[in-house]
């Protein structure tokens, strides 16, 4: 579907989208992304945090965007106050959460049949002890099922897992961040059958 964007070989596992503070975006516009600061992380970055939307020539574009929009705000925490710490800690959290093996252990794997969203939620909550936020692409024209698109875990400032329950009056920081073509991800509906495709 995204041949125009050179997405020939999408990974067959969950990858990282970002590490986002709840409040604030682009907190320091003079603190530019510098790929040499994360050169020791490159093999992990390419594997776990790939840019599937831009050509391989521009594969740092996604990381640059995440640093400038979110990393510069996350850097108010000492544990995340450099590019190396920000990207390194995101990789560490990804490996600790280990979503790929958790879903497999729960018997949730890409399939041509549908899942109930409540079953996916329950499996994740049972495994992690916290409620993540699961986002979907809405059903396409004439379809009845939503497609699982993103699973968001929430952390305290000490980077401990916590429930992803939006506090009253807080805007949802995710909605505007990722547009897949013209469709946007939104919180999945419990009522709709859910498609977890092996290939999108």
Which of 54, 70, 122, 184 is flagged as catalytic? 70
> How remote is the C-alpha of 154 from its chain's centroid?
11
70 as an active site residue: the answer is yes
Q: What is the CA radius of gyration of the chain?
A: 17
54 as an active site residue: the answer is no
CA–CA distance, 199 with 111 (Å, rounded to integer): 10
Coil/strand/helix, residue 174: coil
What is the CA angle 17-20-25, rounded to 5? 115
Which of 12, 26, 47, 66 is flagged as catalytic? 66
CA–CA distance, 80 with 95 (Å, rounded to integer): 17
Q: Is the Cβ–Cβ distance between 28 and 38 less than 8 Å?
A: no
Which of 17, 65, 68, 158 is flagged as catalytic? 17
Q: If we measure between CA atoms, which residue out of 62, 96, 92 comes closest to residue 80?
A: 92
Q: If we measure between CA atoms, which residue out of 51, 24, 22, 20 comes closest to residue 35?
A: 51
Coil/strand/helix, residue 4: helix
17 as an active site residue: the answer is yes
Structure-derived torsion over alpha carbons of residues 174, 1, 117, 145, reported in degrees to the nearest 10: 120
Q: Which residues are the active-site residues? A: 17, 66, 70
């Amino acid at each position: 579907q995204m041949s125009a964007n050179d997405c020939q070989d999408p990974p067959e596992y969950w990858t990282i989208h970002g590490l986002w503070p709840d409040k604030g975006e682009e907190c320091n516009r003079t603190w530019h992304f510098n790929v040499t600061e994360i050169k020791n992380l490159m093999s992990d970055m390419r594997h776990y945090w790939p840019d599937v939307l831009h050509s391989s020539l521009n594969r740092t574009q996604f990381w640059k965007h995440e640093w400038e929009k979110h990393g510069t705000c996350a850097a108010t925490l000492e544990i995340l106050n450099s590019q190396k710490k920000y990207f390194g800690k995101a990789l560490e959290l990804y490996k600790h959460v280990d979503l790929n093996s958790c879903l497999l252990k729960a018997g949730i794997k890409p399939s041509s049949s549908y899942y109930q969203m409540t079953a996916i939620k329950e499996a994740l909550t049972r495994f992690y002890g916290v409620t993540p936020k699961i986002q979907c692409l809405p059903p396409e024209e004439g379809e009845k099922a939503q497609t699982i698109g993103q699973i968001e875990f929430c952390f305290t400032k000490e980077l401990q897992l916590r429930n992803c329950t939006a506090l009253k009056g807080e805007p949802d920081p995710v909605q505007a961040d990722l547009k897949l073509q013209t469709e946007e991800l939104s919180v999945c509906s419990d009522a709709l059958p859910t498609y977890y495709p092996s290939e999108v």
